[in-house]
Amino acid sequence: MTIGLSAGTATLLAWVLLVAAGLAGIGIAFAPAPTGPDPRRVAVRLLAVTLVALCIRAAVSLLFDGGTYDIFFAYRKLGNELRHGGDVFAQGFPSLANYPPVIYWWWSLAATAVPSGSPHLFAALVRAPFWLIDAAIAPVLALLVRGRWRWRSAWLYALNPIAIAVPTLHGQFDSIPALCLLLAVAWLATHPRRAAWLVGIGAAVKVWPAYFVPALLAGVRRAQWGGFIVRVLVPSVTAFTLYFVIHPDHIVQGLVGVIAYLPHRQGLGTSLLFPAAWGDPFIAPADVAVAALVLWMVVECARRHAAVVDVVALAMLIVLGLAPAISDQYLMWPMAILLLGGHRRIAALLSVAMTPATLLIDISSAGSSTAVPAVAPLLATAATITAAAVLWREVPTRRIEVPTPMTRKPGVTGTPGAL
C-alpha cells in the first residue's frame, strides 16, 4: 500500500471507487439522448473530463503499488538488469522478457531514477505514464467522436472501471498501444499510412495491436496491404535493431520470446473449460481456432461493407471471450474502440460485468492472497460473448467508416439508437 492504509481499507476503497465509476457510466450511457451538439465551452469541457480522468486514476494508484510480481519482480529486476549493462533477453525460457525492447528502456530509466529502496516511489514512477496516457484517451475520444455523443463517449471512458484498474491496480501498460490503435482506427479511412505507423508504434510497446491488422486491412485497398504491413513492422524492427547494436548475443532468443509469448490462465475466456490438470498444451491449438474464427468474421464483415471500427471491436470481443489464456489487462482493449464506434451501452454494461473479475485479480496480484471465485471470470466471459453476439447482429445495418475528426460530419459515429 502506498498511503499507509491497511489492505482491507485499501481494498474497500478500490471497490467503492470503481463500482461507483461503473454505475455512473451506466447512468450516462442510458440517460436521455442529448438534444444536439453544443460547441460552447469546448476547452472547459475537455479540461473537466481530463481532470476527472486523471484524478480518479491518481487516487486508485495511491491505494496499491500495482501487481507485486509485475512491479517488483519483472519491472524492477529487468530495469536493474538493463541499467547495469545486462541483457534482458539472456534468460532461459520461460522468460520475463517477452515484450519488445521499448518498455525495458523505460523500466531501466525508472530504476535509474530510484536505484534502491523506496519501493513505493518506484511503483508510483514506473506506473505513472501508463495511467496518464490512459486518462488522455478520454479527451481524445471527445475530439474523435463528433456530434452530440462526443461528451458522453469521453465521460464513459474517463469513468470506465476496467481502463482505470489496469494501469493503476495492476500497473500494466496496455493503455499505450490502446491509444495508438484508437487513433489508427479513427484515421484509417483517410490516412492509412498514418494509421499503419500508429499500429506499428503500439506494437513496438506491446505486440497485441498487430493481432488486429487483418481487421484493419478490411478498410484498406488491397493494393496498399503490402505497404501497410511494412509500416506496421518498421517500429518494432527498429527497436530490436537498436537493442541489437548494444546487446547482439541473445537478440534471436528475444525475438522468439516475444513471438512465442508465454500466456497464463486467470480463469478468463474459456480457461475454466479446461481442467488445470491438463496443463497448457491446449492453448496454442485453441488460439489457432479462435484466430481462424476471427479471420472468417473479418471476411464476412468485409463482404457486408461493415465499418472497420465494428470489425476491430468484434475481433477483440471474440478473442477475449473464446481464447483460453486471457489476462485481466486484455479486458481494456475494446473499451475505447466500442465508444469510438458509438456502442456506449455495450461498453458501459460490459465494463461493469468485468469489474468483479478485474478487481479480484488485480488486488490479488497486488499482495492479497484471496482466491478469485470462478463466478467472477465466468461473468466477464459471458458478458464478452454476449456483447460480441449483439455487435455481430448490428454489423449488417451499419455501413459507416470512421474518418478523421476534421473531415467527419456531426453525428456520424454510431447511431442514436446504437447500443
pLDDT in tens, the chain (419 residues): 556 778 889 889 999 999 999 999 999 999 998 876 666 788 899 999 999 999 999 999 999 988 888 898 889 989 998 998 898 888 764 567 789 999 999 999 999 999 887 889 999 999 999 999 999 999 999 999 988 899 999 999 999 999 999 999 999 999 999 999 999 999 999 999 999 999 999 999 999 999 999 999 999 999 999 999 999 999 999 999 999 999 888 888 888 878 777 677 888 999 988 887 777 788 889 999 999 999 999 999 998 889 999 999 999 999 999 999 899 999 999 999 999 999 999 999 999 999 999 999 988 776 656 678 999 999 999 999 999 999 999 886 554 444 444 444 444 344 334 45
CB 314 within 8 A of CB 330: no
> What is the model's pLDDT at position 39?
65
Q: Which amino acid is at 143?
A: L
CA angle 281, 284, 286 (to 5 degrees): 100
3-class DSSP state for residue 127? helix
- What are the sequence ranges of the domains in the chain? 7-397
Identify which of 204, 195, 206 has the alpha carbon closest to the alpha carbon of residue 241: 204
Q: Rounded to the nearest 10 degrees, how much is the dihedral formed by the CA atoms of 10, 16, 17, 20?
A: 170
Rg (CA), the chain: 21
Q: Element (H or E) spanning 163, and its range?
A: helix 161-165
**Alpha-carbon span 260 to 226, nearest angstrom:** 24
The counts of H helices and E strands in the chain are 18, 0
Q: What are phi and psi of 149, to 5 degrees?
A: -95, 0
Distance, CA of 329 to CA of 172 (rounded, Å): 7
